[in-house]
Amino acid sequence: MAWTREQMAARAARELQDGYYVNLGIGIPTLVSNYIPAGVNVQLQSENGMLGMGPFPYEGDEDPDLINAGKQTITELPTTSFFSSADSFGMIRGGHIDLSILGAMQVAENGDLANWMIPGKMVKGMGGAMDLVAGVKKVIVTMEHVSKDGQSKLLKECTLPLTGKRVVDMVITELGVFAIDKHGPGGVSLVQLADGVTVDEVKAKTKAALTVSPSLKVA
């Protein structure tokens, strides 16, 4: 047994701190807005020009004019503000976003990130990922631990085009939580196991250099 996508998002939400300005990427990261801990006040920012996003709307309550950068319908809050995408990227590039939670296709043990394209496959564009990983203070990746063909996505080196070098601080997969040594020689530290997952299973599915934290938590 391992974490579901919702459990991964809930675990990522535990990394939020009061007062943070946060950008959520497409996929699992968008679910984080539904799991913000009680008493933690954060402002969710979207590249398309919105600050202060609420949770996803209930069916029937959707407003087609309220969407995030992934074109999903969202809700607004009493404190929500709207502005141009140029101002939005000004916030990102100016270092005003504390945390970005993104999806990924590959993460290397030194913090390199590949999440914007697969050569030979059609892409809509690079989006804001390159600006986000270069401009925010902390980057967390939420992703499946292995690809659809069973290959590890936590690697010694990325084989896909990079979004950024030495940018990832933490990875959360269905198997657990991993700290990335992006400032030193590189390496991945297992800091928490998901429900029913063993260390041996994690090792078998990880190509990066892996160590087990002395303070390893079992969920």
What is d(CA 201, CA 83) in angstroms, rounded to the nearest whole number?
46
Would you say 106 and 160 are in contact if contact means Cβ atoms under 8 Å apart?
Answer: yes
Phi, psi of 133 (to 5 degrees): -70, -20
With residues binned 3-state (H G I as helix, E B as strand, rest as coil), the percentages for the chain, rounded to 5, are 15, 30, 55
CA–CA separation, 45 vs 62, rounded Å?
19
List active site positions.
Answer: 47
